Structure 1
Amino acid sequence: MKKLKRIWLGIGFFLVFLYNLDAQKPTEKFSFVFMTDIHITKDYHAEEGFRKALGRAMELEPDFIITGGDLVMDALDCDYQQALEQYDLYLGTISNLPIPVYNTMGNHEIWGWQDKSLHQEEWEDYGKNLFKRRIGQPNYSFDHKGWHFIVIDGIEYNDSTGYIGWASDETLSFIKNDLRKVDPKIPIILITHIPLITLEAQLEKGALAGNHPMEVIGNSKEVLECFSTHRLSLVLQGHLHYYEKMEIIGISFITGGAVSGAWWKGNYRGTEEGFVLIQINGEYYKTEYIDYGWEVTK
């Protein structure tokens, strides 16, 4: 009788374990849009184009939008007033959307790093400070329907080029500290402007070519190692303006094209102006690049 009781207790504990394991898995359906490299400006009918992209996105009924950086045409090499005007244009365009917009900082949101003539480092909004003041912190995370999202800053100053792709100690510490609060079984989506992994250089120059330090995060291995005990499912990245999708060791890396195409001058290397739709079903997902129908206005 005691043996039978132990068997039933064992079965009970096993069923509770299975229930708890299953309860941790996401079960809901939702979708979101990843829009990168918008490069809004008063030129090239960019505001009209961005509004068209947003309109198409809203037709898809996403829960939210994540932007992938390069929201404005360029604040790296312009005066302060021009930088403010670009930020105002971007923020004004998204201000009436009925869903949340989660922003990623791109290199072109950073003010003054490529203009050494104006001594802009004396200004309070120099560098990343303008983004922090107008939009928010470049490293942050949020949860949605059983999925965890981490948005990171992968850009550092470089004296010769203005910037390089690099995850600072601050960014690496943020990721590690954030993951301490995340159950290892929860699927994670990581968002970065500058890519962690890309085939761009190999496509342009051949299989032995290396990537330029301005086009990838140079210490990407350190970034990915932060997730060694967690379930990183998808990396969304921008910067390169073309659509690229690859899967390595169970992680999908998607470079999300560009809302602006070739900076509002047409498509870029065969990638039309567009954005990525991500559809989640429980712990699974599928992605689609959406050409929203923009044509260059002569």
Structure 2
Amino acid sequence: MNRNYSQDLVVRPRRTRTDAWTRRLVAENRLSVDDLIWPVFLQEENGSSEVASMPGVKRYGPDCLVDAIGEAIDLDIPAIALFPYNNPATKTPDCREAYNPDNLICSATRAIRKHYKDVALIGDVALDPYNSDGHDGLLRNGIILNDETVEILCKQALAQVEAGCDYVGPSDMMDGRIGAIRDTLDEAGHTYAKIMSYTAKYASAFYGPFRDAVGAKGALKGDKKTYQMDPANSEEALRLVELDMQQGADMVMVKPGLAYLDIIQRIKSTFGVPTMAYQVSGEYAMIKAASANGWLDHDAVMMETLMAFKRAGTDAVLTYFALDAARILK
């Protein structure tokens, strides 16, 4: 018997895909400018300099930083994360520049605040840009010192908040630092300063261009596997989220992003806490390189990856694509 299969179909999922307005009506996830955090690199010298391994990314000096921030604000990007590129002379084994109230992050924060009040500023709390050894913690006899590092991180976080940062982002992965930073800020009267904890930061090979951008790559002695997470682990990430939230974290970060979408999804579905993702330098550089060679459509792939973060459960994405994506979304 001949049968017209198409006439027997009652349920046709393609009906809701046939036109743009219906696809918009039934979209399960949405990406907006409100989902973007723009990372900005700072330098001491006036002018700007290109980061060779991150096409399109610059370090900004004091004379052009405020204008760059203004562009992001004009695009309605709600938050800026600040990262310093320190001159080698400021890098020492004791990392004292990290809590200097006139260091790059603190100085930049005060300069931005003179012009802009309604943008969130996030200070990076870690020692690698200040450490002559290139590590996120103090190094002695080949060992990263946890508790001694936490003492410096607390001073660093306090200096950033007192300069005007709304958030501190501890990205160091030392044990106990969230509780210690929370206590330090509260005792100083900064009860409403927020902590964006890099809770699940993996010992990843995707960080290379970032280390170029902050000048930490050449100084690094060894690797960071004794404090950053093993890429093989996911249950551990859940334990760390629980610990950080108990200690006073307001939101958690997963870093890197694309290779760890499963971690994002598990954290969000398990705890329902504000969950951020960092689309790291290596992820950015791969897309830039492939698009420069004509292998990928830059804007289409950029937006698809950002939507992947939203689909996995992120509340916001820290991405070097923030300006490009905001222009499209606007």
Q: TM-score range by the shorter chain?
A: 0.3 to 0.5
- Structure having the higher helix fraction is 2
The structure with more strand, counted as a fraction of residues: 1
Normalised by the size of structure 1, how large is the TM-score? 0.43
- Give the structure, 1 or 2, with the largest relative contact order (CA under 8 Å, sep 6 or more): 1
